[in-house]
Each structure stands twice: as structure tokens, then as C-alpha cells.
Amino acid sequence: MYAQMVKTDPRSAEITPEEEAFQARLDADVKIEPKDWMPEGYRKTLVRQISQHAHSEIVGQLPEANWISRAPTLERKAILIAKVQDEAGHGLYLYCAAETLGVSREQLLDQLHTGKAKYSSIFNYPTLTWADVGAIGWLVDGAAIMNQVPLQRCSYGPYSRAMIRICKEESFHQRQGFDIMAKLAAGTAEQKAMAQDALNRWWWPSLMMFGPPDADSVHSAQSMAWKIKLNSNDELRQRFVDQTVPQARHLGLEIPDPDLRWNEERGHYDFGAIDWDEFYRVIAGQGPCNKERLDTRVKAHEDGAWYREGLQAHAAKKAERRRKAAA
């Protein structure tokens, strides 16, 4: 009955009644809510994944924000501002979801700013041209949706509900990115070359977003048993390739992979080897923009200290007034 039951207390050889009841709820697709009993490992895994996801949304604003002041038209500028602002909103929902697990915003931000917490590898690459804004929307938001649509059905209530709104917004982001690429690809030879160059630079890092191959994924087995992840890294990566290759063909652009071909037997595209050394270098802090991204976030946090202090002083004064009025 409990095919996916896992022992969650390493000190005990037995599955405890609490663990058994918890797993029964997961098997029945009942959401786990903040006040429900949960194994410590489940809580920690959620805090790790949700907070890394939140950090990714926040740091993820930076590459595209780089182009707000240089967007080619007023309309593109307005769309890009809205998109970058949406990403900030996603970060905030996700920090709130993580906070329901008993960790504070300060702790989470401290982990980001001291380099203890990861954020998505993809945001450590530079945005060199306007076409990169298109490639991010098309490929990066496209990969994010592929990963996040299943997360709408994950076992933790606050995370799954945050995903519903986030996915709706990500769909709009993906379409606007594709639209930028479509305009460039149908433009002058120079514009088309710019779109192709962006695809060449963002393709492989986008495939890395799904995480290491299943055989090297540390957390997948347990996270899937707990329904924190619904699909494996390789499964989602393959879906992304299958979905994106026809889109590239529609644009008249070429995926930078000589080994890419349709495999009739598998019913999927085969694709070339991913440079996992590059991935591990980037997540260890040695990507092209890791230092710049982290420095920018730390500076923004420090520059905002006066505002947070002001809000806290105001809240304390208000509470004091209320206390006096009630006395």
C-alpha cells in the first residue's frame, strides 16, 4: 500500500506511526500544510528547494534588468519592466512559502548573501545583447515552466499554491521572449545573427537548469518519494528539448548541437553531451557572473537597511500606541 514509504528518522530502524500516517497522506495526494506533523528531513528539503527557488527569482531579475534602460522601443521597455517585477513577486511568494516552515526571511537572505545557499546556475551568465532578453524569456522561462508546472501538484500546500500563479506569469514571460526572438529572426541578417548567437550561448546553460543527470542527483529519489519533486531531472530536460526544437525550427534558428536528432524508436530527440564540469564550476561560484550577481544583491540589501529600519521603528511605535490605549 505504501509503495513509496521511506524511513525518515535515521535513529530508528522502524517506520514510526507518525511517519506511516504522513506517507499515507502523501500516497492519497492530500496536501501537507504548515501545522501538520512532518519529518524533519521533509521540512529541511523543502526549505532548501523553496528558498533556492526564491533566490533564483530574485537574482534572476538581474540579467534582464541590465537591458531595461536599453530596450529598443517604449513597448518593449514597459513589458520588460513588468516581467522583471513579476520575478520579484515570485521571489516574495516563495520566501513566504519557506517562512511557513519555521525559517525567517533574515536567515534565508543571510544564506544567500554569504554564499551558503544556491540559486539557479543560469543566472550567472551575462546578457550581452538585446537578443539575450529574448533567449531568456523563450528558453529560461520555458525551462522554468517545464519544471514548475508539475510542482503545482507537489505535496506541500503553500509551495504548490504559489506555483499556480507563478506558472501563469511564466507562460506570459515565455511568450514575450519567443516574440522577441521571432521579430529578430525575421529581421535583417544582422538581427537574425544576433538571435542565433543568443541561442548558441543560452542553449546549453538552459539544459543545465534541470540539474545534474539522474544518476548524479543527490536529492531526487527522496524528493520524489515525498512528492516534493514529481519528475526526475532528466525526464524534464528531455521534455524541454522535445518541446523547444520544433520552436527553434519555426524561428529558422539552429540548435547548437551537432548530435541532435529525432529518435524514431524512443519518440524523443537524442541530444549531445552536456558539459557537466561547467555546471559544477558555475554552482561552486566560478561562473562568469557569480561574483557580480552576489555583490549586487548584497549591496541592494545593505542600501535598503535604512528603509527596513524605518518600517520596524514605525511598527514598534504603532504597537506601543496600541498597548498604551489598551492599558
Q: Where do contacts with ligand FAQ occur on this chain (CB under 6 A)?
A: 48-49, 52-53, 56-57, 60, 87, 118, 120-121, 136, 140-141, 144, 147, 208-212, 217-220, 223, 229, 233, 283
DSSP for 157-212, written as a single string: HHHHHHHHHHHHHHHHHHHHHHHHHHHHHTS-HHHHHHHHHHHHHHHHHHHHTT-S
Query: Which CB sits closer to ligand FAQ, 15 or 172?
Result: 172
C-alpha–C-alpha distance, residues 143 and 106, integer Å: 29
Report, in Å, the least distance between residue 189 CB and ligand FAQ: 28
Shortest Å distance, C-beta 269 to ligand FAQ: 20
Helix axis angle for 74-99 and 157-185, nearest 10°, is 160
| Residue (49 or 192) nearer to ligand FAQ, CB | 49
CB nearer to ligand FAQ: pick between 162 and 283: 283
* Phi, psi for residue 269 in degrees, rounded to 5: -80, 135
Closest separation between CB of residue 176 and ligand FAQ, Å? 11
Which H helix or E strand runs over 262?
Answer: strand 261-263
Position of minimal CB gap to ligand FAQ: 60
Residues 254 and 252: their CA atoms lie apart, in Å, by 7
Eight-state DSSP code of residue 14: S
In the complex, the smallest distance separating the C-beta of residue 178 from ligand FAQ, rounded to whole angstroms, is: 13
Nearer to ligand FAQ, 172 or 193 (CB): 172
Q: Which of 2, 131, 108, 4 is nearest to 56 (CA)?
A: 108
Nearer to ligand FAQ, 26 or 192 (CB): 26
Residue with Cβ nearer ligand FAQ (120 or 196): 120
Our CB check for ligand FAQ shows the closer of 52 and 192 to be 52
Residue 260 C-beta: closest distance to ligand FAQ, Å: 21
Sign of CA dihedral 152, 35, 118, 270: negative
Biggest CA-to-CA distance, the chain: 78
256 in Cβ contact with 272 (< 8 Å) = no
Q: How far is the CB of 268 from ligand FAQ (least distance, A)?
A: 19
**Residue 170 C-beta: closest distance to ligand FAQ, Å:** 7
